Amino acid sequence: MLPTKKIFQKIIEGDEVCTVELCRECLLNGYDPMEILEKSMIPAMDKCGVLLTNRKSFIPQVLMSTRAMQAGIDVLKPYLSQQEKKMVTSETVVIGTVKGDIHTIGKTLVSIMLESVGFTVIDLGTNISEKEFIDAVEKYEARFVMMSAMLTTAMMSMRKIVKEINHQAFAWDVTIIVGGAPITQAFAKEIGAVYADNAIDCMDKILKI
């Protein structure tokens, strides 16, 4: 089994020690750090999300997998920071799960990825109101807001929050990126936000902006 395949499996298993060892092994063997991230780590966390949704896995196991991925990211970080200039930024991002929803998996994954390429991520947590988002944007002078919703019942909350943020007269441009299982491109456009299909897509879009 290729080391990258092993990393995928060990993250699923929540094996932090083996994940770290395998990441180091891959780097020593000349693997590109972004390839490790995109072909092993991200698919592993996506798989964890599917297992959780299908009740074939539970929160404690997914948290173990998240910690394993974070440990692997720590190994990759010094090498990721040496990537081309577009991967280096000092921008601040405010991120949170909208009011009425307490899911964290997608939000955590996006946070990890953004931090790995240099963003300062202000994670507000879950069940976040429009006031909390707006206060954080003002406090940290953030140009990017990312919000997720995994429940269809939280979509109306997301709509309200996006509307309130867009109505604020900030002294700088603020881009809102939304995502989550029930969120679609059409819905994002309708409420005045940018749609991200997954964590990789989210990072690609924010870097382009």
The residue extents of the domains of the chain are 3-83, 86-208
pLDDT of residue 116: 66
In this structure, whether the domain defined by 3-83 belongs to CATH 1.10.3210.10 is answered with no
How far apart CA 76 and CA 73 sit, in angstroms, is 5
Dihedral (CA of 169, 136, 78, 48) sign: negative
Helix 16-28, helix 3-13: angle, nearest 10: 160
pLDDT of residue 90: 67
* Contacts (Cβ under 8 Å, ≥6 apart) of 162: 147, 176, 178, 191, 192, 193
Three-class secondary structure of residue 34 per DSSP:
helix
pLDDT of residue 81: 58
Q: What is the CATH number of domain 86-208?
A: 3.40.50.280
pLDDT of residue 177: 97
Q: How far is CA 84 from CA 29, 40, 79, in A?
A: 20, 21, 11
Instruction: Provide the residue-wise pLDDT of the chain in tens; the chain has 209 residues.
Output: 778 899 999 999 999 999 999 999 999 999 988 889 888 988 887 787 678 767 787 768 877 888 898 889 889 878 875 543 344 456 899 999 999 998 887 787 788 778 766 789 999 999 999 999 999 999 999 999 999 998 999 999 999 999 999 999 999 999 999 999 899 999 999 999 999 987 767 877 887 77
User: Considering the entire predicted model, what is its pTM?
Assistant: 0.67
